[in-house]
Chain A
């Protein structure tokens, strides 16, 4: 914000300062406090928690089996017996959506973990050591970024072959450059700080400075990007399964379920509609939470 002279902002700053003086809090507590004041992120967190609980407790919520075929129940519209109807094999869609959530959330989280485990150390070391090492790493990142959108994931699938596990690896690898860049950018800022120089002067080893002193300080932006990344990874994972490059029948995977419902759009709209809705609600709640986290961790937003 460049507009520092307007009176309202001065007041905001004063009250902020007064508030800080009353209750000294850490940066983390500060962020959590700001997060708790954001209605969007609260809504996102509540929906997401409900979803996770429902998905984990799936066997207790529904009495149906997600893959068992019941021919006489096929293509039944939504009713009190089958809340979301049944598919062409007579399987309960609601049950499949619940079990599918286990798969989609797992794909999202594991893909992001892979990306974090590879990308963050890359960015951390590139930013910390600088020089030729930095150039080399960033060149690798540039090359990875020259495959737009989902293409890099497709390339990885082409090499590894289609399967759900390979989808996680593919989506994870294709997100590595994002984390490498975020980590590097944050390190470049942090390493000029007094405490990092102090650690160096005290004779700390490079590894200790990187992981004990710098890493905790770049966690904020990484958590934000990772949260939004899970949302993106869930969509990419479902997209790959939709294309027939991931989960195989009869797995109750959301993207695959959508794809199976394609041929029944005319007779049974519910087959594709509910898994699609499930993806959107999940991704939306994660995005709401992620947006809230970003605002909470970004000090510039403090003024608003």
Chain B
């Protein structure tokens, strides 16, 4: 087990380095000179620009700049926002809790709905219950997140006045965005749970369990579900990562001051260092999530370790 973990971490190091390089190169590709953006309207003479470029270290060779970027990033220094002048990390630390809160709440909702719907349609395979659940799931996959969000705001904020439309901070503000993301993500999960449950229900050990005379409930919960849920862990890991970066739209609509909104604002205002810092943070978090998923997967299904 430990050997597997070590191997899994070791093979991801080159990818992590490549991601940092890519993010660094990105900074070079974004049109505009960071020093000019930083100076904004104050920019007057070439001398001042040259001085700022020197202060920011932009006059050094690119590989030196990259190594410097890497070294500083490893020590938690992601540079400063070109607009506020405050460290990027400081902005991140303020935004992360809001995004994490949303991601966890949405995950919880999607797991409850997705797993229940998936099990239900697998058990009632090829009946109207199955068809209906899968149709609902298909609607969920086809529903644009921004439209569902607007419909929710229209009914529950404008018409019924039950929940506040925008802002963050408490459960009332969290309810609608978490519900929207949870419901939409549950569709994918429901389809996944259904198909893996159907696979498992056809296994010999399920027939054995039934032949032993176990209660159907025991067969389903103890024997089938536990095995059927293993592949869905991967989906959950991917979902969590996507929620970190992909809550962009939801956060923007509900005006939640999370990572996604910070990211969009940075792109719109060409805050290159912020874009770089947030991209790096999300990509690394996502990779770490995937490593954790792989490791937990191999813990739950030992066959994987020996491949």
Contact = CB atoms under 8 A, between A and B. Distances in A.
Contacts of A261: 150
B147 A279 contact: yes
Nearest to B153: A265
Nearest to B135: A40
A149 B26 contact: no
A17 interface: no
B145 interface: yes
A243 B249 contact: yes
Contact of B138 (A148, A272, A287): A287
Interface stretch (B13-21, B112-120, B208-216, B220-228): B13-21
Nearest to A282: B142
A3 interface: yes
B158 A149 contact: no
B104 to A, nearest CB: 16
A142 interface: yes
Interface string A182-213: 00000000000000000000000000000000
B298 interface: no
Contacts of B263: 154
Contacts of A1: 202
Contacts of A29: none
B248 interface: yes
Contact of B286 (A3, A148, A154): A148
B203 A2 contact: yes
A235 interface: yes
Nearest to A304: B126
Contacts of B252: 243
Interface stretch (A69-77, A107-115, A155-163): A155-163
Interface residue SS majority, chain B: helix
Contact of B249 (A142, A158, A239): A239
B74 interface: no
A291 interface: yes
Interface in A133-155: 139, 142-143, 146-151, 154-155
A235 B144 contact: yes
Nearest to A236: B144
Contacts of A147: 245, 279, 282-283, 286
Most buried by A among B244, B249, B263: B249
A44 to B, nearest CB: 10
A265 B144 contact: no
B39 interface: no
B143 interface: yes
Given A139-B15, A235-B144, A243 B286 contact: no
A245 B245 contact: no
A25 interface: no
A266 B150 CA distance: 11
Contact of A258 (B146, B158, B245): B146
Nearest to A159: B29
A238 interface: yes
Interface residue SS majority, chain A: helix
A90 interface: no
A276 interface: yes
A245 B267 contact: yes
A231 interface: yes
Contact of A288 (B19, B138, B154): B138
Contacts of B244: 148
Given A266-B158, A287-B142, A3 B202 contact: yes
B152 to A, nearest CB: 11
A148 B241 contact: yes
Contacts of A265: 150, 153-154, 158
Nearest to B270: A158
A280 B151 CA distance: 13
A158 B30 contact: yes
Interface in A248-291: 255, 258-259, 261-262, 265-266, 269, 272-273, 276-277, 279-280, 283-284, 287-288, 291
A159 B26 contact: yes
A3 B45 CA distance: 79
Nearest to A143: B18
Interface string B189-219: 0000000000000111000000000000000
Given A146-B19, A243-B252, A269-B154, A151 B245 contact: yes
B96 interface: no
Given A139-B18, A276-B151, A244 B268 contact: yes
A291 B244 CA distance: 28
Contacts of B19: 143, 146
B15 A262 contact: no
B246 interface: yes
Nearest to A44: B138
Nearest to B272: A158
A245 B260 CA distance: 14
Nearest 6 CB-CB pairs, A to B? A149-B246, A276-B147, A149-B242, A151-B245, A284-B142, A148-B241
26 contacts: A143-B18, A146-B19, A147-B279, A148-B245, A148-B282, A148-B283, A148-B286, A149-B241, A149-B245, A149-B246, A154-B267, A155-B26, A158-B30, A159-B30, A231-B142, A244-B268, A245-B267, A258-B144, A258-B150, A265-B150, A265-B158, A273-B151, A276-B151, A279-B144, A280-B147, A284-B138
Interface of B: 14-15, 18-19, 22, 26, 29-31, 138-139, 141-147, 150-151, 153-154, 158, 202-204, 238, 241-242, 244-246, 248-249, 252-253, 263-264, 267-268, 275, 279, 282-283, 286-287, 290
